[in-house]
Amino acid sequence: MIRRRIGVLGGGQLGQMLGQAGVSLAAEFIFLDPAETPSARHVGRHLRAGFADAAGAATLAAACDVVTYEFEHLDLPTVQAIATTTEVHPSPRALKIVQDRIRQKEFLAAAGIAIAPFAAITSAADLTAAVATLGTPCLLKTARDGYDGKGQRLIRDPLHAAAAWAELQQQRCVLETFVTFSRELSLVSTRGRDGAVVFHPLAVNHHRDGILRLSRAPAPDVTAALQTQAETMARRLLNELAYVGTFTIEFFHVGDALIVNELAPRVHNSGHWTIEGAVTSQFENHVRALMGLPLGDPAATGHAAMVNIVGTFPDRHRLLALPGVHLHDYGKTERPGRKLGHVTIVDPTASGLEQRLAAVLALIE
């Protein structure tokens, strides 16, 4: 059975790119989103409702063969209610684990995956004890709703722990050791309904103010052993979750090893390069998995870089006059720290990519 009618919780840029990928497979999308003009409205129907709106969720479920989501900060009971009538992928169990940092860390630890030492924090006493055990510097992160570096405090001195927790409104948190890494890498993979798994090459990611600015893929200087290390972890987690769809792991690269920073149960910003830079994109493979179709080749077709457009939009004429530039405009109004679009460039050679990238960065930075 081919499931053509796909419901998506969230109609932002990830929904927009999912919809674009789905057009060529004759998928039909409905995006549930409370915004008046969500980015994805041009590539499917827009059902305007809140994410915890039971009636909206029921309407979506009734109109679709399968429901997915483009962000994880969802109301779990609403997603579980949808799943009583309509398939939801990734599963509500995967969502429940990943959307909460405490559950996510405990899941990773139980699966034997390398992570930074951590402690669950639910009281001031927990925090005092954990700072003493883990030492400083360490990072306090809210268990829920953190993204783009929001909801995090670096604790350099035990004396500052109480203030950090107060700033985070004494919410449930995780405390983790500060990792001294050489770089940040991410692996985007997709698991199909038949259990087949495909992996894109690792990407290297550069953040500023907690926001992803630049990814290069395939990441330079990745040995076959390192790629295999990442894939082995991903396969174990995907199989353990009986996962269907695209899945992202963000890693810290330390020496020859990978330490998992966090998981995302969805297509990911660090995989946007795959639209023009891979045989099959992360978005198309997610749609294929939802529809029950075979997954496509995830291999890179050249050297790719993806640059996020954050806060203010550069001159579109000058940007598009650069050779080889692929612009993705999310149609959003400018706001400091907001992701408004991205640019991807692909070149047959690493040096050629760097030349093109320098020209793009000169306009975007």
- Residue numbers of the site for ligand AMP (CB under 6 A)? 116, 139, 146, 149, 176, 178-179, 184, 207, 210, 250, 261-262
Ranges of beta strands (E only) in 99-137 are 118-121
- Given the complex with ligand AMP, which of 263 and 289 has the nearer CB atom? 263
Q: How are strands ordered across the β-sheet holding 87-88?
A: 45-47, 28-32, 5-9, 66-69, 87-88
Distance CA 217, CA 72 (A): 25
CB of 130 to ligand AMP, least distance (A): 13
CB of 248 to ligand AMP, least distance (A): 11
- Given the complex with ligand AMP, which of 146 and 314 has the nearer CB atom? 146
- Given the complex with ligand AMP, which of 3 and 253 has the nearer CB atom? 253
CB closest to ligand AMP, residue no = 179
> What sign does the dihedral 129-130-132-133 (CA atoms) show?
positive
CB of 292 to ligand AMP, least distance (A): 32
CB of 184 to ligand AMP, least distance (A): 5
* Amino acid in position 129: A
How crowded is residue 228: how many other Cβ atoms within 10 Å of its Cβ? 11
- Given the complex with ligand AMP, which of 43 and 306 has the nearer CB atom? 306
First to last CA, the chain: 47
Q: Which tokens hold the place of 203?
A: 């990407």
- Given the complex with ligand AMP, which of 135 and 210 has the nearer CB atom? 210
- Given the complex with ligand AMP, which of 78 and 246 has the nearer CB atom? 246
Please, are residues 272 and 215 in contact by the beta-carbon 8 Å criterion? Answer: yes
CB of 210 to ligand AMP, least distance (A): 5
Which H/E stretch holds residue 62? helix 54-63
Q: Which tokens hold the place of 187?
A: 């692996």
- Given the complex with ligand AMP, which of 34 and 149 has the nearer CB atom? 149
The single-letter DSSP state of residue 278 is: B
Please, are residues 47 and 31 in contact by the beta-carbon 8 Å criterion? Answer: yes
Cα dihedral 261/264/265/271 (nearest 10): -120
